[in-house]
Amino acid sequence: MRVDKSGNLPWVEKYRPSTLDDLISHEDIIKTINKFINENQLPHLLFYGPPGTGKTSTILACAKKLYKPAQFSSMVLELNASDDRGIGIVRGQILSFASTGTMYRSGFKLIILDEADAMTNDAQNALRRIMEKYTENVRFCIICNYLSKIIPALQSRCTKFRFGSLNSEQILPRLEHVVKEENIKITEDGKRALMELSGGDMRKVLNVLQSTWLAFGDVTETNVYSCVGHPLPIDIKNIVNWLLNEQYFSAYSKINDLKIKKGLALQDILTQLHLLVNKIEFPDNIIMELIIKLAQIEKQTAAGCNEAVQLNALVSAFQNARDIEKV
């Protein structure tokens, strides 16, 4: 009997693409990297872009293509945010890995610096010389979310690839693949909700899918939103309705009750509200004022101010806008 070792893995790991061809989107990047590898001309690489778009998966798939499993431990050094990456490790572990020869005659070693945003400037500066001096022996792959966190000197030594967020058409086939493999009952609006919530982050799609499936069984729109405690579209519609039509106290208490009943965060409500505000038919100057107030409330909420006070501010911002419109 075949024992399925991947049975208890979280799906993000279970369905991590193992070859370059399994990766969705980023066709140009994959094509270019494939060409580099096939012609044995791999430069130093720098991958950047938002989380969950396949950066780590891409370099791991490259490593699998470059080396046989037996070579892995001696040819690949992978450091991520959980390892210390101050200047000490650059001068110690990285330098010694880069400067020692390989057992295998041909080929270079690979050093993967995942989540390099966390590297100190000193450590990055110390890397510059190592990168140049040992190019014959080793290639670097630096991965980060924000390009600005990498010093320009390192950027100029690498070939840069930007991993953009994935769009719904790209996510859908992969999502359907997982759904089929795991035999999950999912509705069309459930899929839409997953993709909307994820904002182009494939890791989030898989994580939310798995938790919704574990918690509720069926993956529907309502279940997905309840699983992550995010307001449902209908809730937001109600909130806007109350804000625009109810008296002050009644609007406040209705929103507050809903918040408590469903455990919603004001921050999530604000984000969704903001998308709808532009569609309200107020004159431009009123909308502008309203949006500025919403932005202030969001900032104060993010800074940790009292939610009840901020909710009051939200209701009064709308009341104000309505009052001005009436005169």
Residues that bind Mg ion (CB under 5 A): 56
| Stretch (H or E) spanning 318 | helix 307-326
- 3-class DSSP state for residue 108? coil
Residue 306 gets which letter from DSSP? Answer: -
The tokens for 179 are 């759904």
Q: What's the min distance (Å) between Cβ of 80 and Mg ion?
A: 7
What is the footprint of ligand ADP within residues 167-186 (CB under 6 A)? 174
Residue 142 CB, nearest distance to ligand ADP (Å)? 12
- Residue nearer to ligand ADP on the CB measure, 154 or 206: 206
Helix (H) or strand (E) holding 48: strand 45-48
- Using CB positions, name the residue nearest to ligand ADP: 54
Distance (Å, rounded) from C-alpha 259 to C-alpha 246?
17
Question: Of the listed pieces 16-24, 83-91, 269-277, 300-308, which binds ligand ADP according to CB under 6 A?
Answer: 16-24
Q: Per-residue DSSP letters for 109-177? A: EEEEETTGGGS-HHHHHHHHHHHHHTTTTEEEEEEES-GGGS-HHHHHHSEEEE-PPPPHHHHHHHHHH
Interacting partner of 161 out of Mg ion, ligand ADP, none (Cβ under 5 to 8 A depending on kind): none
By the rule CB under 6 A, 24 interacts with ligand ADP: yes
Contact region with ligand ADP (CB under 6 A), list: 7-15, 232-240, 264-272, 292-300: 7-15
Among 34, 36, 37, 51, binds ligand ADP (CB under 6 A): 51
Judged by CB under 6 A, the residue of 29, 30, 56, 158 near ligand ADP is: 56
Strands lying side by side in the sheet with 138-144: 76-79, 109-113, 138-144, 45-48, 159-162
Angle at 56 between CA 55 and CA 60, to 5 degrees: 120
Report the amino acid identity of residue 229: G
Give min distance, CB of 25 to ligand ADP, in A: 5
Least distance to ligand ADP, CB of residue 187, Å: 22
Q: Between 56 and 210, whose beta carbon lies closer to Mg ion?
A: 56
| Interaction of residue 52 with ligand ADP, rule CB under 6 A | yes
We find the least distance from the C-beta atom of residue 141 to ligand ADP, in angstroms, to be: 11
Residue 57 Cβ vs Mg ion, minimum distance, rounded to whole Å: 8
According to DSSP, the residues that pair with 46 across neighbouring strands are: 142, 160
Is residue 94 within 8 A of residue 86, CB to CB? The reply is no
Q: Which of 30, 45, 57, 235 binds ligand ADP (CB under 6 A)?
A: 57
CB of 196 to ligand ADP, least distance (A): 17
Is residue 20 a contact point for ligand ADP (CB under 6 A)? no
The answer to whether the beta carbons of residues 159 and 45 sit under 8 Å apart is: yes
User: Contacts with ligand ADP in 188-217 (CB under 6 A)?
Assistant: 202-203, 206
User: Are the beta carbons of 49 and 142 closer than 8 angstroms?
Assistant: no
Check binding of 55 to ligand ADP (CB under 6 A).
yes
Residues engaged in binding ligand ADP (CB under 6 A): 12-13, 15-17, 23-25, 51-57, 174, 202-203, 206
